[in-house]
Amino acid sequence: MEDLTGKTAVVTGGGSGIGLGIARALAGAGMRVAIADVEDTALERARASLEGSGGDVLAVRVDVTDRAVLAAAADRVEEAFGKVHVVCNNAGVLVGGSISEMAYADWDWVLAVNVRGVINGVQTFLPRIAAHGEGGHIVNTASLAGMSTARGMSVYTASKFAVVGLSEALRADLAGSGIGVSVLCPGVVDTNIFDSGRNRPDAMRSETGTDVYPMVRHLPEEDRAARMERVLSAALDPAVVGEIVLQGIRWNEPFIFTHPNLESMVESRHAAIADAFERWSRYRAEQGI
């Protein structure tokens, strides 16, 4: 979508972090932006900030795992701004730990937000975008963890691989429809995702999974803060991510990457897949099967 001026965008997880960065970029491009978030305080702060920059903004409290709430929010956005053209399914959470450490509650919470939240966003807004016939764009936030694996990221990685696959399938389904689809795969960004547990429902809490970033979990608790500070000091500003996403929408990019210096993480996985194809091809030829 090249012409965004005067059109409406919805950004889930828009109260802070990447979501707020995307909302700020879209508002700066002349869009009317609805930010949806589960945190009231962050939502109000984000709304005030965007309005202070001259944006036309609506703030809606939304739990993306609740389909009825999301549908009601969509109605409210359309009442306030009219037709929705861009949807960014960005809300996400993190639980660290190996698969052997995970409880069902860890799986249930991460998949509910990271995967079902994206599905709910697509199912809620796609029919509305298709109905007005003016085209549109959907951005689903995954992660580089949806392109490659790392120790201690089991549940999170599984959820983000699901978002990548969902997005690729959706893009194929919508080819030629005038509705584009991108999957955002960022590296480390300066957000609150490492404190995801603040929003974790009591019914989905466990004693196993943690929102402590995997690269610091092995450290004594007293050393973790300093290491995380070093990690985040190199993290990308969410405002930069927002500008990258804006360009990705304009280009209708299938994959939006924020950290091209991390390409080797993806290349190594693809090389392993190619090697496996070659080995099995050779085996079948040798066995005559």
Of 15, 238, 257, 19, the residue nearest 146 (C-alpha): 257
Pick the closest to residue 46 from 55, 75, 249, 86 (CA basis).
55
| Cα–Cα dist 71/128, whole Å | 11
Q: One of 104, 156, 213, 283 is an active-site residue; which one? A: 156
Largest CA distance in the chain: 70
Is-catalytic flag, 156?
yes
Angle between helices 17-28 and 238-251 (to 10 degrees): 60
- 80-to-21, 74, 120, 203, 289 alpha-carbon distances in Å: 22, 10, 21, 34, 63
Contacts of 208 (CB under 8 A, 6+ apart): 97, 101, 102, 103, 106
Residue with tokens 């405002």: 239
Q: Which residues are catalytic?
A: 156
